[in-house]
């Protein structure tokens, strides 16, 4: 089954404790992206990747890191999480990036609570 | 200025009836894509339907259709024969072709419409 898989689905942790949210897709998609969803602010892009070893900042990259060493994986790293990073996070992927007609397929989301 | 506007924060519809969720957008790009996503209370984001700016016909996917009026910059989602499982948040989103190479082709989302289907 074609899908984007995020782990964990839920995480409660404490300020300053490094964490990684994994994202993997099995559709051979070139484009991958991370979003965060917050009440009243909607979905905002954190980082994106056009292809392997190519990553760039989105609208709200502060406090996050990403890597794209393999086509299928795009982990999101919080080196020193803070409470303002408490949010619902989504990983998304799409086939290529040549046009506007490729839907981005989303993972099931990761609910992070930073205490 | 809002790029995607969904003016209905919440809507109710009777089961088996049709419902229209409004979406207007703002772009100076000639090439863009419009998408609708469904977010149930469990949180996942499910792709429903796509409309390209150059598409002459309205998109349809099963019970979902997109009423695309380019001159008015509107892309309303129509759900026919509503079911209880349609209760969810619905997001309209846009991707602009010019932004793909210098801003990562991000999806710009509206604030969403919460649809409740009554039995």
Give the distance from residue A27's alpha carbon to the nearest chain B alpha carbon, in angstroms: 15
Rg from Cα positions in chain A:
13
Contact yes or no for A109 and B44 at CB 8 A: yes
Which residues in chain A are closer than 8 Å to B43, comparing Cβ atoms?
Answer: 88, 108-109, 111
What integer is the mean pLDDT of A40-51?
A: 89
Contact yes or no for B47 and A103 at CB 8 A: yes
> What local confidence, expressed as pLDDT, does residue B93 receive?
95
Contact yes or no for A101 and B52 at CB 8 A: yes
> What local confidence, expressed as pLDDT, does residue A96 receive?
67
Minimum mean pLDDT among A6-15, A45-54, A106-115, B109-118: which range? Answer: A45-54
Contacts with B112 (C-beta within 8 Å, 6 or more apart), sequence order: A42, B6, B9, B39, B89, B90, B91
Tokens 């890191």 belong to which residue? A65
> What local confidence, expressed as pLDDT, does residue B92 receive?
96
B45, B106, B112: residue with CB nearest A58: B106
Closest CA to A93 of A9, A44, A35, A53: A35
Contact yes or no for B104 and A43 at CB 8 A: no
> What local confidence, expressed as pLDDT, does residue A103 receive?
86
Where in chain A does DSSP place strands (E)?
4-7, 10-13, 19-25, 31-38, 42-51, 54-57, 65-66, 76-78, 87-94, 105-106, 110-114
What integer is the mean pLDDT of A26-49?
A: 92
Span A72-81, pLDDT tens digits = 999 999 999 9
Q: In this structure, what token pair is assigned to residue A88?
A: 């619902």
Give the distance from residue B35's alpha carbon to the nearest chain A alpha carbon, in angstroms: 7
Give the chain A residue nearest B102 (alpha carbons).
A56
A105 — contact with chain B (CB < 8 Å)? yes
Q: Chain B interface, mutation test: which of A55, A95, A101, A111, most B Cβ atoms within 10 Å?
A: A101
Rg from Cα positions in chain B:
14
Which residue would you say has higher pLDDT here, A99 or B5? Answer: B5
Q: What is the mean pLDDT of chain A?
A: 92
Q: Tens digit of pLDDT per residue, chain B (119 long)? A: 669 999 999 999 999 999 999 999 999 888 899 999 999 999 999 999 999 999 989 999 999 999 999 999 999 999 999 999 999 999 999 988 766 665 667 889 999 999 999 99
Which residues in chain B are closer than 8 Å to A92, comparing Cβ atoms?
Answer: 45, 107
Closest CA to A5 of A111, A112, A108: A108
> What local confidence, expressed as pLDDT, does residue A7 receive?
97
């Amino acid at each position: 089954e074609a899908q984007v898989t995020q782990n964990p689905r839920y995480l409660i942790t404490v300020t300053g404790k490094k964490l990684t949210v994994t994202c993997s897709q099995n559709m051979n998609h070139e484009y991958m992206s991370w979003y965060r969803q917050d009440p009243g602010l909607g979905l905002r892009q954190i980082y994106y990747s056009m292809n392997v070893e190519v990553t760039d900042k989105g609208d709200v990259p502060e406090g996050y890191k990403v890597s794209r060493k393999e086509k299928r994986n795009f982990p999101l790293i919080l080196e020193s999480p803070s409470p303002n990073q408490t949010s619902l996070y989504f990983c998304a992927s799409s086939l290529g990036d040549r046009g506007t007609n490729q839907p981005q397929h989303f993972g099931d989301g990761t609910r992070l609570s930073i205490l | 200025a809002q790029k995607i506007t969904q003016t209905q924060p919440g809507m109710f519809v009777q089961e088996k009836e049709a419902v229209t969720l409004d979406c207007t957008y703002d772009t100076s790009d000639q090439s863009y894509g419009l998408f609708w996503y469904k977010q149930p209370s469990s949180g996942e984001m499910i792709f429903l339907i796509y409309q390209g700016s150059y598409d002459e016909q309205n998109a349809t996917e099963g019970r979902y259709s997109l009423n695309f009026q380019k001159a008015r910059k509107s892309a309303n989602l129509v759900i026919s024969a509503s079911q209880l499982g349609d209760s969810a948040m619905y997001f309209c989103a846009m991707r602009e072709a010019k932004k793909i190479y210098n801003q990562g082709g991000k999806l710009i989302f509206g604030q969403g419409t919460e649809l409740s289907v009554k039995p």
